[in-house]
Homo-oligomer: A and B are copies of this chain.
Amino acid sequence: MRNSRSFVFAGGEQGSWRVTSERAIAGDPLAPAQYLSVIPADEWTASQASEWILRGTRSNERYSTRDEKQSLSAIQPQLARPEATCAALIPIRKLEAWWDLSQDERRRIFEERSSHIAIGSRFLPAIARRLYHCRDLETAEPFDFITWFEFAPSAAATFDELLAALRASLEWSFVEREVEIRLERDYKSRAG
């Protein structure tokens, strides 16, 4: 039985998201894929053809305070809004030095020095975000996190701003691998 918070992201020749661009921001790229499927882990079977798969699990929040959590949840949009036909899949791996930090050190870099939550909030409700964790899965995964974003085509420039702000932060100096895959919803497909 699979964890109901666990998902498989499969890049290949089918899927409900069409890849419009794919580039490595840091470290190695992923193999090129034309489409992406996002499939609950318990519906995915290893026989499904794909160029690559990434696995990730939704989890509890690791850094936000009660106040931040409440402000965020008041303005955070749901995924799968009809107008949000653009998406981005951005898997990230951080340096071991990040994971060796203590919780208070990571929090300080994440928010007090990098404003990760504050930056994200500035782009709400235009940009829906979801985080999946991969570092502690039983399978050895190539990334620590999978970040997922959904937005309307009219918010594409805003999304570029969000990425630029996060990548300019101190937190990002701990990112050793990052791939950016831009996507458009493909209405012809019925899969994943």
Contacts and interface: CB of A to CB of B under 8 A. Distances in A.
A59 B66 CA distance: 24
A5 B137 CA distance: 9
A142 B68 CA distance: 31
B102 A64 contact: yes
A136 B3 contact: yes
B68 A138 contact: no
Given A3-B141, A141-B3, A103 B136 contact: no
A146 to B, nearest CB: 13
A99 interface: yes
B102 A61 contact: yes
Nearest to A63: B103
Contacts of A64: 102-103
Stoichiometry, as copies per complex, reads 2
Contact of A65 (B60, B104, B135): B104
B61 A103 contact: yes
Contacts of A6: 137-138
Given A59-B135, A62-B62, A135-B59, A3 B140 contact: yes
Interface in A35-66: 41, 55, 57, 59-66
Contact of A3 (B60, B101, B138): B138
Contacts of A1: 139-140
A69 interface: yes
A105 B66 contact: yes
A137 B104 contact: no
Contacts of A100: 60
B136 A137 contact: yes
A102 B3 contact: no
A4 to B, nearest CB: 7
